[in-house]
Structure 1
Amino acid sequence: MASASVDKVQMSGGTNSTTQLRLSSGNGPVSRTVLKTPLRDALPSEIPVIDISGIFSASRDARVNVARQIRDAATNNGFFYIKNHGIPLEIPETACEKLLEFFRQPREIKERAHISQSKYFNGYKPPKSQRINPFESVDVRETFSWTYDPRHDPSVPDPAAIASHIARYLRYEDFYWEATENLPGFKEAIVTYWRSCLAVARALVRSFALSLDLPEDFFAEKFTHPDAALALNYYPPLPRPQEPAEQGEAEVSIGSHTDFQLFTILWQDNNGGLQVLNRQGQWINAKPIPGTFVVNIADYMQRITNDRYVSTVHRAQNYSGKERISMPFFFGFNLNESCGVLDSCVGEGGEKKYDEISCEEWVQRRARAMHREGEFLGK
């Protein structure tokens, strides 16, 4: 494990030691300077709660108001909560209940859905099989995951009619549903949750376009069959360390990382554990807020916005003493699509920091980096 260097910085009139946090990126290993200050809860100014009911309004002013708040959050810490999103409370709660039923089964039953049967990392990933950050511990979690399936997308009338240049990038399978048929209602609950997130994500893309001074339908052709996946995580409790540890010394529920594509919509249970690295280099808690989801910007969004929108490092450490469920929904353009830096994100006389890259190539680059830099069996 790489050692972390420590230096001193002056902040708020005092002296705080710092450490270097290493993690994977699409451009190789990178590092962040992290303050070795006690973990604290996020302030509303750091991770705001945004009422997104306006994105469903016929009023353009209401839609622009939401877009303006999204822009403020995306250019700050890249994280925000959403409320009044239109997803009934019972949908994520039912999915969570069904996941607990699945994860509490004997391992030999869960392994009927093992990823070894998948071409795309779909299915069940057992304990000690994932390490999202090669410079930290193996993730202390189990996961059930699956990728976009047009057969469950209400906007796709005939999956068999999908054009070949799109269909060849789709990565859906059936074995994980067949392996969970012993749990009545499991598939229905998970698919219902996925569809609900998909509907909100498609509405949010229009808001993101507005937030970037673009027409609302600017991205419409790029997410007809999106890279929309679920990673349904089960985190057993971790022992709380007596004092802050250097990177690699303490166990993590899921290691420090950024997400791949445009943005993530996360439902988390009430036990907490999500931590965000703010702009000052301090770890802060993104505590559960009933009735909300957490949204965070991902790497591809940061690229196409020329670094205006921030893909922020985050991790999870479950110190609640209880088992924890989180249900992140990852959303991005179709894998056959490509997007360069947006002209609206390049100021007068400025330059585009990134070359155009296809979504498939970007996702594969990120995954290869994790394979190359450490053990990885996951995203």
Structure 2
Amino acid sequence: MLPPVPEPFDVPVIDISPYVTGGSDTERARVAREIDSACATVGFIQILGHGIPEPVIEGLAGAVDDFFALPLETKKTYRVEGANRGYSPPKSESLSLSLGVESATRMNDFFEAYNVGTEARSFPDLDLSEDDYGLNVWPEVPSFTDAVQAYYAHGERVARTLTRIFADALGLDPGFFTALTDHSIDVLRMNNYALPEGSVTLDGELTGMGEHTDFGLVTVLWADRVAGLQVLGRDERWHDVSPAAGALLVNLGDLTARLTNDRWMSTLHRVTPPVVDGTIKRRRSAAFFHDGNVDAVIATLPGLCEHSDDGYAPVTVREHIKAKLAGSRHGKKNTAAGREAERVLAAADRAAAR
């Protein structure tokens, strides 16, 4: 008997310019339909017409290069313990644990990262705690702060544009997501995939970033067009994904899946860059995470529950993110991530059977 033919896998490319530069009602309705289809079938989207100027993207790429070129010991001085800010050195995280999965390559995520984000003091009229947000640490690298802040402003704009499209796609009030995100926990994570300094033993499968789903509402990703990113399809197989020229990659997070009762997918993904003669081809990315208000209660939309107890249990953004970060950064299995863990294990079983 011939083996089953793998299902075709494609990440749709959608031009969102009607929502960025102004478009007709008909054009916007088309975009909303395309977004709805992509969110329901793939959970990943490539967007064009996002409006981020090329010089801003080039500035971000240059800032990433300049920081990660620093000596490891210098970079470690910007590490912030217990906060989702500053520098994360290689092998300091295990994102599979954010799913509640014990990976065979646990604590072998070799990427390094630098995080900045929105601070509680950005909302002086609200009684918010920096324990939920975090204070930024800016490295002493020329032009780094200006370049990153310029990109950050655009990343936030694109994320809010997407949630506006989401509201139309789901038939919700245009301001629905605004009420959940007017003091959102947002983070820009700049990633560098390369072997750390010194000798490295390639024992077993080296994982750039372990399998995981994103935590919040939506993620906007700029990435090099270098192999490495893989997405888990409905066929429970891992598929390679690389952005089209000029496109940003967008994926949904767990909180949007909870809102839609999994009508829209929070898709599992990982990074496994190729190793050639013991050297990993360098890959850069920058993920803008739009997670929602720390005190917002995320509950399944009533129209997407066949019965009153059919949806996810309500959870605050704070509770959800705390459980996920405890897994990835502190080595504590996230016991609340049952559905995601089942999918990871099913994919592993399928791969082993081939």
Of 135, 138, 143, the residue aligned with 1:173 is 135
Name the residue aligned to 2:323: 365
Name the residue aligned to 2:285: 326
Name the residue aligned to 2:115: 145
**In structure 2, the residue corresponding to 1:115 is in which secondary structure?**
coil
Matched, 1:48 2:12: yes
Name the residue aligned to 1:377: none
Gaps of 5+ in 2: 97-101, 197-202, 335-354
CA distance in 2, matches of 1:295, 1:231: 14
Give the structure-1-normalised TM-score.
0.77
Identity %: 31
CA distance in 2, matches of 1:344, 1:46: 29
Map residues 159-238 of structure 1 onto 2, 5 A cutoff. Answer: 159=122, 161-164=124-127, 166-167=128-129, 170-174=132-136, 176-177=137-138, 180-181=139-140, 183-236=141-194
CA distance in 2, matches of 1:106, 1:236: 14
**In structure 2, the residue corresponding to 1:14 is in which secondary structure?**
coil
Map residues 97-108 of structure 1 onto 2, 5 A cutoff. Answer: 97-108=62-73
Change beyond 3 A, Cα 1:253–1:59: same
CA distance in 1, matches of 2:119, 2:256: 23
Contact 2:132 2:318 survives alignment (8 Å): no
Map residues 261-280 of structure 1 onto 2, 5 A cutoff. Answer: 261-280=216-235
CA shift, 1:322, in A, is 2.7
Change beyond 3 A, Cα 1:309–1:202: same
Q: Deviations over 1:302-333 (max 9, x none)?
A: 11101100111100111175311110111121
User: What one-letter code is carried by the residue in structure 1 that aligns with 2:103?
Assistant: F
Change beyond 3 A, Cα 1:149–1:234: same
Name the residue aligned to 2:199: none
CA shift, 1:113, in A, is 0.6
CA distance in 2, matches of 1:335, 1:223: 9
**In structure 1, the residue corresponding to 2:263 is in which secondary structure?**
coil
Aligned residues: 314
Gaps of 5+ in 1: 1-12, 17-34, 152-158, 239-247, 375-379
Matched, 1:84 2:49: yes
Q: CA RMSD in A?
A: 2.5
Name the residue aligned to 2:264: 309
More helix by share: 2
**In structure 2, the residue corresponding to 1:161 is in which secondary structure?**
coil
Change beyond 3 A, Cα 1:167–1:367: closer
User: What one-letter code is carried by the residue in structure 1 that aligns with 2:32?
Assistant: A
CA distance in 2, matches of 1:304, 1:121: 24
CA distance in 2, matches of 1:79, 1:254: 17
Name the residue aligned to 2:40: 75
Contact 2:60 2:151 survives alignment (8 Å): yes
